Structure 1
């Protein structure tokens, strides 16, 4: 159906490796302006087929060119290299990715690793071409199978993004060739036409895979080796039938009518009995979090890995809105610093969401009122950078842009490596049009993190998230609640107290004693100035999340480079300096508390 020489010119059938195939240019299918860079093999590199990749798989010219994300790590972390391919719904598709490292700087394992996403789901983590192929100039490929849900023609999204969890030398991704084969649909003998609308959605749901350990359980995406077409078709048919029997149906529409948004086809639907078994009938000893409208339980589904199960209050209208918003958000967007939604349950008017389990819980649980060991300053910086990347993706990585609207430390989750992931998208808001600068909306969020401009004018902007993030920066630095009514009046609001101390040059006196001696002076200056800019009263005076991210990365580099201490830094500081004096909140804590006392919980929604 599609066959691309990625990063190179079209290859005519006569130049194919024996099967008279046409390999097209991939550039017309690149999404957006971020098309990466293309290049050819080094002159001193000889491309060689391997025993598992015979000559007929693809011509050498396919492996001799490539498209990567580019040389700038900071830029690469902030976008996905994406292709969009129109396909017919109701069919199984085989996707074949061709890889070959063809430039001499990358010759060893773990120099370049990346994610492969298919329809916003993780197909492969830590893809390392050298590891797959066995060396420079050696060919390799990987196959994946997916079912395209829906009706008529739908878009298949294929994306690459750097995976830095193994700390590779280069922050980049690469692809040499791509093939998409249409294999089988509802009518096995008719591969030419469109399917009729599916009566039942198979449990091999197409567009999201929670993670590597869950792939075999969910049946959403199956990685396979090579083989002949007839054998593949037979194998895929058997897999689909087997999974249908093993796991419950995964479709969105149910009789109670909670959801009918097509995006919810991308995650799995669980029965209430499955959720009851997973949570031991909602055993209170399994509760790992409480909110204003929900409890969160740990559990295991189908004997698989641990998951987090959020049960929203059936009587709460706010909970109903959050339920639908959360599914719509997390079905359509995926990023390494956004928590992954595995599925949901809405049997008997229940509103239950199932997420990947985050071993280390919330960021707040590691800052104060906790028995957890204090986080080091460097780890806190890495967490801040992770959150900034997630928010930057929400603001800029989609066509319209998403405002989270409830950025706070209890909505930042930490995985087993303490990598930060933004969670709780129940209040998120999309821009109605790409050229709008704000959204007029009722004020919602959490007391202490409110953007004062949003509060007064009902004008929600991306800078509202920046304000909340700035409050969070002070919270991470000082390890105290953003609102503490037990303190003296001038110290109740952490934001106001931190700005007061910053103006008088004594901010270091309220820094968390556990990390006070770890912070280098240059890092402290950049971090403090950034937090100050983020919480400016006027949104126009605040930096963008892109500026925030760049400055945090500078702060981390200054922290790591002790040689910079005591002399001017050679690093560029982005958008940090201003001639305007610092300002305090234009709305008092007492006023906020009075107005929001009937809708807000200090401990969270």
Structure 2
């Protein structure tokens, strides 16, 4: 296997860089460096007992701090998500059905207060978490408004997250933290799992060692922007050129997380990440500014001066327009020994922020840390914030280069409105392609000419006046990029941002079926004739007027209800959420796609409703739910290894049919364990075709399209090149196979960095012959070694870096059938007429044409509605728990 590197794009709603690792350690874990550790109040909400987290930090009960304890309900989550590294504080919650406040003592009311709110939007007894919309205020400052932690977690593809704020100092010795359920939604409630209140050091106050940092910006006198009376929300915190730094290793016990910057680099030019070869010390800079590890690692442009002069080192961030942001840059030059050796310019949002930055000249010493703050206003015409460095030539320095050690971005409150709140996240244009040349900075000459006072360098005090109405989101995604020593890094864009702007287009009922509705939905005549049209009245009757007790799931499109039609037929009714990131396009795609497909291992679409602005889809009811629900301990029925194999085989059959058996090649584009459903007889069916693409002309071998999918399952080649092939589904299915084997999520940020991505970690373990160490403990000793070997080899091949090196779904199906036969033989089942890998004879491989021919002969291309009725005459039995289905291996005796 060639070397691979998966990079996790970590993000969060509001607290962009302090979420996901969420379990914060004790103050004494962080190096103090001579400064007093901050005092902290940490509350385990909804618990009557104290508890310790993974870092042995004690969280105390919250009840004595609630003004009206009788208004709060103490509850415990039904299940513990595998990504939670600790039950404390996430497994208990305090739920509020009416406005309720905490009265929290402040250790020092004259300094800033660092406030963290922990949310785990899980399933709680008697409460539907999707109904939770609420606001949170701290004193007179609105932190959250009409906030849905459920939607936030769905958008982030994470089980939990944290919101972090730096509250401006005041004169009140207590902080009133108020939770209020929204009046806009029935049955709404507020909740919180954990609260941290920390007396923060003077992170944003005047530092005499940095006095005089404000100067001119290209001969324009800069303005200072005081921030002493402004509250902030942490958005990004990066250890540039270095690895992730966890909370326990942060300086002064502030318990911050510093993330790898690679995800935010723009373009092919990513520079060189290095570590200082000499000792770095603070040399007068307060240690609470950043850990020494931040100043000991850095990213520079590289040794090629000619190339550097025509390039720039750029990071890009998604932000909300009409806000002011404080951008803090950390520098420490451990290479230069005199002035005018490395000098560079700084640009923020295509404007010159500072010219002629010479880190050695700023500090007067080698390996001496410093930081500079800049405040930038992002106008309402853009949702991007750019930070770029470019070598300066004005003073003719010795080297043409630039460097950066750390980067933080904070959102400034709107003081006029006392607001830091933003909208709930949406993903109307998931994985928006970011290659618009017009968005990129042009030449640096034009940047200097277009400079304005939009970017102002702050004095040592930092800055204050802010305008803003919405929170920013950085999305969880990941990429894998080949790292070959000496190779040209120009292998495509380093990352793709997400558009979170909502396009909540409502559809209204078409006046003519098969035509385009007023809401923009176009349903073809063929699609309309192949599925049933339901009136809204029929849907309401089927679901008892969308009774919450009938909710069986919630996804990106909206809630899913169990319903009854025609007196006794159970169905699943998926109703679009007006706040959903999915909408008209997904609704239309699902109808057009599924109305043409009939296959045992694809969820069947019964009909749809486009009435009175509603977008509703009606499917066959899948009584056993999702595959994911059955592979994690503590969830539903835990599946045996043989059951898992059979479900994987069923899903592979469905995907194989999509790729080869339908009229056109169909690429699912969102293969994951939550999109593989299981019916009452444990038959697996692939679901959710809202992102699927057809390839009517696959002569090119791919479809050029915007990248969409779920993070952790995304094909890295598709991610890099935006060229979709059926091998992208194969990659995602490979992640599913390892998830089934290991019973852990595709992404688990609570684990060490090298283990965060399941695909990366499983491949590494497979290469090191340690795969058995990470399989589900419930399966150990129950899998035939030859079966495990075959299964793991199949999953590994699916995760090949290049699509051409991956097997087809037909090959995958063949291999999984082989693995099942090996397991059957191990458990004493009948032997087959076909030799497997357990013999000295090589396993025969059926060519693709033969596979397709066999597939079509047994499934009639899935175009006949009576397939299920005819199938029993055409197939062999593959298990005791499933109905008769097509099998690649012919066993006349049955199993």
Q: TM-score, normalised by structure 1?
A: 0.52
Partner of 2:809: 545
Q: Please say if 1:354 is aligned against 2:618.
A: yes
Deviations 1:283-310 (A, max 9, x none): 2221111112311110112322111000
Partner of 1:365: 629
Q: Please say if 1:446 is aligned against 2:717.
A: no
Q: How far apart are the structure 2 equivalents of 1:514 and 1:303? A: 41
Q: How far apart are the structure 1 equivalents of 2:653 and 2:664? A: 17
1:473 to partner: Cα distance: 0.1
Deviations 1:372-430 (A, max 9, x none): 22101111111111011100000001232000000000000101111100000000000
Partner of 2:12: none
Change (3 A) 1:566 1:396: closer
Q: How far apart are the structure 2 equivalents of 1:355 and 1:567? A: 42
Partner-residue secondary structure (3-state), 1:395: helix
Unaligned runs of 5+ in 1: 1-248, 577-605
Q: How does 1:87-166 map to 2 (within 5 A)?
A: none
Indicate which of 261, 266, 277 corresponds to 2:524: 261
In 2, are the aligned partners of 1:314 and 1:320 still within 8 Å (CA)? no
Q: Please say if 1:512 is aligned against 2:776.
A: yes
Q: How far apart are the structure 2 equivalents of 1:485 and 1:315? A: 27
Partner of 1:491: 755
Indicate which of 572, 588, 601 corresponds to 2:843: 572
1:505 to partner: Cα distance: 0.5
Q: How far apart are the structure 2 equivalents of 1:387 and 1:362? A: 12
Change (3 A) 1:371 1:316: closer
Q: How far apart are the structure 2 equivalents of 1:336 and 1:566? A: 29
Partner of 1:463: 727
Indicate which of 555, 559, 569 corresponds to 2:819: 555
**Greater Rg, structure 1 or structure 2?**
2
Partner of 1:270: 534
Q: Please say if 1:302 is aligned against 2:573.
A: no
1:575 to partner: Cα distance: 9.7
Unaligned runs of 5+ in 2: 1-510, 848-895
Partner of 1:133: none
Q: How far apart are the structure 2 equivalents of 1:254 and 1:292? A: 24
Indicate which of 644, 650, 672 corresponds to 1:380: 644
Q: How far apart are the structure 1 equivalents of 2:512 and 2:591? A: 14
Q: How far apart are the structure 1 equivalents of 2:717 and 2:846? A: 21
Q: Please say if 1:336 is aligned against 2:600.
A: yes
Change (3 A) 1:398 1:475: same
In 1, are the aligned partners of 2:562 and 2:571 still within 8 Å (CA)? yes
1:568 to partner: Cα distance: 3.1
In 2, are the aligned partners of 1:399 and 1:434 still within 8 Å (CA)? no
Q: How far apart are the structure 1 equivalents of 2:694 and 2:687? A: 16
Partner of 2:798: 534
Q: Which has the higher contact order (CA 8 A, sep 6+)?
A: 2
Q: Please say if 1:289 is aligned against 2:553.
A: yes
Change (3 A) 1:412 1:477: same
Q: How far apart are the structure 1 equivalents of 2:717 and 2:695? A: 17
In 2, are the aligned partners of 1:250 and 1:270 still within 8 Å (CA)? no
In 1, are the aligned partners of 2:556 and 2:581 still within 8 Å (CA)? no
Change (3 A) 1:373 1:410: same
Q: How far apart are the structure 2 equivalents of 1:319 and 1:432? A: 24
Change (3 A) 1:317 1:508: closer
Change (3 A) 1:278 1:409: same
Partner-residue secondary structure (3-state), 2:562: strand
Change (3 A) 1:514 1:465: same
Change (3 A) 1:292 1:566: closer
In 2, are the aligned partners of 1:482 and 1:495 still within 8 Å (CA)? yes
Q: Please say if 1:396 is aligned against 2:667.
A: no
- Runs of 4 or more above 4 Å deviation: 249-255, 563-567, 573-576
Partner of 1:67: none
Deviations 1:484-539 (A, max 9, x none): 11111111111111111111101011111112221101101100000000011111
Change (3 A) 1:267 1:514: same
Partner of 1:46: none
Q: How far apart are the structure 1 equivalents of 2:515 and 2:791? A: 48
Change (3 A) 1:253 1:377: same
Partner-residue secondary structure (3-state), 2:567: coil
Partner of 1:209: none
Deviations 1:562-605 (A, max 9, x none): 289996354616499xxxxxxxxxxxxxxxxxxxxxxxxxxxxx
Q: How far apart are the structure 2 equivalents of 1:277 and 1:375? A: 35
Partner-residue secondary structure (3-state), 1:519: coil
Change (3 A) 1:437 1:254: closer
Q: How far apart are the structure 1 equivalents of 2:561 and 2:817? A: 35
Q: How far apart are the structure 1 equivalents of 2:640 and 2:668? A: 27
Q: TM-score, normalised by structure 2?
A: 0.35
Q: How far apart are the structure 2 equivalents of 1:455 and 1:515? A: 33
Work out the number of aligned pairs and report it. 328
Indicate which of 257, 272, 279 corresponds to 2:543: 279
1:370 to partner: Cα distance: 3.9
Change (3 A) 1:567 1:420: closer
Q: How far apart are the structure 2 equivalents of 1:514 and 1:319? A: 40
Partner of 2:882: none
In 2, are the aligned partners of 1:251 and 1:268 still within 8 Å (CA)? no
In 1, are the aligned partners of 2:822 and 2:838 still within 8 Å (CA)? no
Indicate which of 731, 739, 747 corresponds to 1:475: 739
In 1, are the aligned partners of 2:665 and 2:696 still within 8 Å (CA)? no
Q: How far apart are the structure 2 equivalents of 1:370 and 1:269? A: 39
Q: How far apart are the structure 2 equivalents of 1:290 and 1:369? A: 21
1:477 to partner: Cα distance: 0.4
Q: How far apart are the structure 2 equivalents of 1:318 and 1:556? A: 37
